[in-house]
Structure 1
Amino acid sequence: MTNETPVPNHIKCCLPFYSLMRNHLKYGLGRNRLRYTTSSLIGVYAYESYSIVTTDGDGWFGRKVFCRYYDKNWVELLPTVESVVFPEYTVHCCKHPEARFMSISEEMFDAVHEKVPVLDRSAVNPKYTLTFCLAPVYGRGSNWLLLAELVEHYKLQGVEHFYFYFKDIDEYSRELVESYVKTGEVETVFLREENDRAGNEWQLAGVQDCVHRNRHYSRYSIFADLDERIMALGNSTLADYVLATMSAEANVALLKFASRFVMRTRKPPMVYERKK
């Protein structure tokens, strides 16, 4: 006789909202109906009773997959756990206490070619009050000036940390971003190089990952594009406004801001030119 709890082999054994998820799957809630692409891993986040694996694959909604677990020495931990892709770009898995890396496969014992480290998000004690999630940047243009302007603008508005997602980035812009990474203000996520979809379709995967990356880690997060600047009217910062507004309305989960368009009349400089 043993008192050990059996290791689950299906997410219905560990997911507290499994019945709700099955109901949403039944009606196809959240399906984006984009064409099928190959899929790679983006991140893994461990919460109190389950983990989340985020991917970049389009057209995987509702597909059966298996959660794979690995210890600190990359040795696989059994059993694998059956799951399903829901919502888009997201796989729920049972939490394994010894797992330091995870992966996803279509069959229970498929060969695994990529593993992602598990980030602990189990403590409900946010490190930040307000963070910024930049929708994946794509295209061949040089964006160094917009990136610098974005960081400095939102720092003045009370943003404490930035998550930058890149599909494409030029070398000059990369140098700028790396300077912010060294100060600890910015974390970067680089999506894979394959061009198997339109550039803007990568943005959905980046948004989904940043939701889970910030859960239990930041109280609030801004989701915006590279050329968007949000400001609060009056003398308060955006952080002050968000905190006051959402604290006063406990049932409010999202704030949406009206847009005002400012047209650019010339191309931004390719490099920084210092005045002599």
Structure 2
Amino acid sequence: MDDRRRVVTVAVVPPDAVVGQAQKWNRTTESGQPGLRWMDADSHSHLANIVCHEMTQRSAPSTVGGKWPEQTVKCTSVLALLTLFGIMSVLVGYVDLRPATYTGDYHWKRFEQLPFSGILEARGNMSPFMPVPTYIKHANAEPLRPLYAYYDPRFQRISVLILSSEVLNATAYCRYFDDAYAEFKAAHRTVVYPDYVVNCPPAENIKYIFVTGTAHASVEKKQMISITIDPHSTRWPFASAPIYGDYHHWFLLLQFVEFHRANGASNFIIYHINSDNATRALLDHYGRRGVAQVIDLPDPRSNLCAGAHRCRHNFQIQDCLMRSVNRFRYAAVIDIDELMALTDPTKTMLDWLRSMDRPYFGSFQFRCRWAMRKSVDPAPHYLFDSAIDELDQLVEKKLPAIRFTKLSSPAPQRHTSKCIIKPEAVEYMGVHYVRQYSGGKEAYRTYFVEAEDAYTRHYRNLSTWGVINFREVSSFGQFSIVELPSKVLEETVSRSKCTLHAIRNITTPSCAQYY
């Protein structure tokens, strides 16, 4: 009996050794004990065979006295449970492949009418079929490190951004201070949610705010954070992943900014940790011109965040969202090696967004196509040491958008896709999709853009990433030559030249139109 109980437990909470194909995410308790793991249908079938073999290996396959053996009955029950999980997994997979304009799709509407469709959706008003992030207390979790604070008019609350990893759903206390730096209100207990965000109720006479892990932790005057309130604007910004490391970023950064400016973007929020002198010169130039707001973040190598996957990246996403609320109509969160490309040569991306916009669309999700770069970008010294004619030729011939035009077939939806969002519609943003809408799934929907209309053009270097992922990318279909529309590409080249001229203090009359 003890052995059979052990096997049944394995059926509900399968070990990794049995379920090798289990999906990567799982739910666990705060004590770190394993919880329910979602698997694909093949894994469920394989596990069911193992369980039934162990439960019935000592039983005859026939009935005894007109009754089924106890082991067979239990096996049937386990099979039924695993089959249910398998069906749910298949349905999740079906939804992941739903068409881009699913709001008008007949099959999707029929699926939503099924009585069990809501069971498969995540908690509360999370986006459909998104795993609910659960806090797991790790030994290397950082202490709370508040960095910025914003007033969120949508919920009439103060959102404090904390630069701390692995603290989702951890307890936090909002601390309120007046203009004399005196704490005038009892600490408010809350939790870290969404990731890197602590939401605090507003208070009269508040001038500064801070977040601590306990209600009575001491707070120094220099630690207190003022609250940012941004005016409304209809401009369209881009936010980049943090720039850092020894890689030469300046040429990609130049293309990133000037291509999207040619497509209608007017403002950029660029997160910077450390970089070469050419990248820094570009950032300073864009900052002086009012094109970009450069946010300098602490070096992750100086604290525990260095060991957390996408730590600064995820922080940047939530911070960009809060900086954009009530300030920008649209916001895009992508990396500097990505371009959001439109296939229609007569429109800019901003034109397309305005034509497609509907009140119920909270985000536009773009499928990814990879352009494999076969060489590294120019070294930083080219920006300072080359003659201006050589710089112009460098842009005309070496810009990745011009040089690398062989693209992969589009990846499936939600596979490394990127989004343009309406900031007021989003409460929790992930790297590749919206995790939670501010008004619930009934208020907003995601528009899944067809690759024939627009897509993300991802310029990946054929280094370690290419060795590991090239086979998967190739499985999406054949590579093909895909040129960018000539009008936007020509403007990108012209803008790029003018920016380099300005950095080198060379006056070019034709460049006045771009600033």
Normalising TM by the smaller chain, what interval? 0.7 to 0.9
Q: In 1, distance between residues paired with 2:190 and 2:237?
A: 30
Q: Is structure 2 residue 245 aligned with structure 1 residue 135?
A: no
> Which residue of 2 is the match for residue 16 of structure 1?
none
Kept after mapping to 2: 8 A contact 1:66/1:83 = yes
Q: In 2, distance between residues paired with 1:181 and 1:72?
A: 30
> Which residue of 1 is the match for residue 146 of structure 2?
41
Q: Is structure 2 residue 143 aligned with structure 1 residue 30?
A: no
Q: In 2, distance between residues paired with 1:203 and 1:29?
A: 19
Kept after mapping to 1: 8 A contact 2:178/2:206 = yes
> Which residue of 2 is the match for residue 274 of structure 1?
387
> Which residue of 1 is the match for residue 271 of structure 2?
165
Identity %, equivalent residues: 20
How far residue 138 of structure 1 moved from its aligned partner, in angstroms, is: 3.2
How far residue 190 of structure 1 moved from its aligned partner, in angstroms, is: 2.1
More helix by share: 2
Deviations 1:160-185 (A, max 9, x none): 11111123323331222011111121
Deviations 1:10-34 (A, max 9, x none): xxxxxxxxxxxx9689xx8233758
Q: In 1, distance between residues paired with 2:171 and 2:137?
A: 18
Deviations 1:153-209 (A, max 9, x none): 111111111111123323331222011111121112222224222463321111011
> Which residue of 2 is the match for residue 62 of structure 1?
169
Structure 1 residues 226 and 96, CA gap change in structure 2 (3 angstroms): same
**Partner letter of residue 369 of structure 2?**
R
Kept after mapping to 2: 8 A contact 1:138/1:200 = no
Kept after mapping to 1: 8 A contact 2:272/2:295 = yes
Deviations 1:66-111 (A, max 9, x none): 1122334434332322221112111110112432322101111212
Alignment counterpart, residue 292 of structure 2, candidates 186, 206, 213 = 186
Q: In 2, distance between residues paired with 1:237 and 1:219?
A: 16
> Which residue of 1 is the match for residue 371 of structure 2?
262
Q: In 1, distance between residues paired with 2:235 and 2:261?
A: 13
Kept after mapping to 2: 8 A contact 1:42/1:191 = no
Structure 1 residues 30 and 246, CA gap change in structure 2 (3 angstroms): farther
Deviations 1:214-265 (A, max 9, x none): 1111111001011000122211111111222123xx2221111122222222
Q: Is structure 2 residue 205 aligned with structure 1 residue 102?
A: no
> Which residue of 2 is the match for residue 76 of structure 1?
183
Structure 1 residues 212 and 53, CA gap change in structure 2 (3 angstroms): same
| Pairing 1:146-225 to 2, within 5 Å after superposition | 146-195=252-301, 196=304, 197-198=306-307, 200-225=310-335
Kept after mapping to 1: 8 A contact 2:135/2:170 = no
- Structure 1 spans left out of the alignment, 5+ residues: 1-21
Structure 1 residues 263 and 270, CA gap change in structure 2 (3 angstroms): same
Structure 1 residues 55 and 172, CA gap change in structure 2 (3 angstroms): same
Q: In 2, distance between residues paired with 1:190 and 1:228?
A: 21
Q: In 2, distance between residues paired with 1:163 and 1:34?
A: 32
Three-state SS of the structure 2 residue aligned to 1:128 is coil
**Partner letter of residue 74 of structure 1?**
Y
How far residue 53 of structure 1 moved from its aligned partner, in angstroms, is: 0.6
- Structure 2 spans left out of the alignment, 5+ residues: 1-122, 390-515
> Which residue of 1 is the match for residue 411 of structure 2?
none
Q: Is structure 2 residue 354 aligned with structure 1 residue 243?
A: yes
Of residues 62-71 and 49-58 in structure 1, the stretch that sits farther from structure 2 once superposed is 62-71
TM-score (norm 2): 0.45
Kept after mapping to 1: 8 A contact 2:152/2:322 = no
Structure 1 residues 31 and 172, CA gap change in structure 2 (3 angstroms): farther
How far residue 128 of structure 1 moved from its aligned partner, in angstroms, is: 2.8
Three-state SS of the structure 1 residue aligned to 2:321 is helix
Structure 1 residues 270 and 30, CA gap change in structure 2 (3 angstroms): same
**Partner letter of residue 219 of structure 2?**
V
Alignment counterpart, residue 219 of structure 2, candidates 74, 88, 112 = 112
**Partner letter of residue 42 of structure 1?**
L
Of residues 252-261 and 196-205 in structure 1, the stretch that sits farther from structure 2 once superposed is 196-205
Q: Which structure's relative contact order is higher, taking Cα pairs within 8 Å and 6+ residues apart?
A: 1
> Which residue of 1 is the match for residue 196 of structure 2?
89
Q: In 2, distance between residues paired with 1:72 and 1:180?
A: 34
TM-score (norm 1): 0.80
Three-state SS of the structure 1 residue aligned to 2:357 is helix
Q: In 1, distance between residues paired with 2:219 and 2:255?
A: 41
Deviations 1:16-67 (A, max 9, x none): xxxxxx9689xx8233758422342232111332111111212212221111
**Partner letter of residue 224 of structure 2?**
K
Structure 1 residues 31 and 185, CA gap change in structure 2 (3 angstroms): farther
**Partner letter of residue 29 of structure 1?**
V
Structure 1 residues 100 and 150, CA gap change in structure 2 (3 angstroms): farther
Q: In 2, distance between residues paired with 1:33 and 1:169?
A: 33
Of residues 142-151 and 193-202 in structure 1, the stretch that sits farther from structure 2 once superposed is 193-202
Of residues 255-264 and 225-234 in structure 1, the stretch that sits farther from structure 2 once superposed is 255-264
**Partner letter of residue 188 of structure 1?**
V
Structure 1 residues 167 and 34, CA gap change in structure 2 (3 angstroms): farther
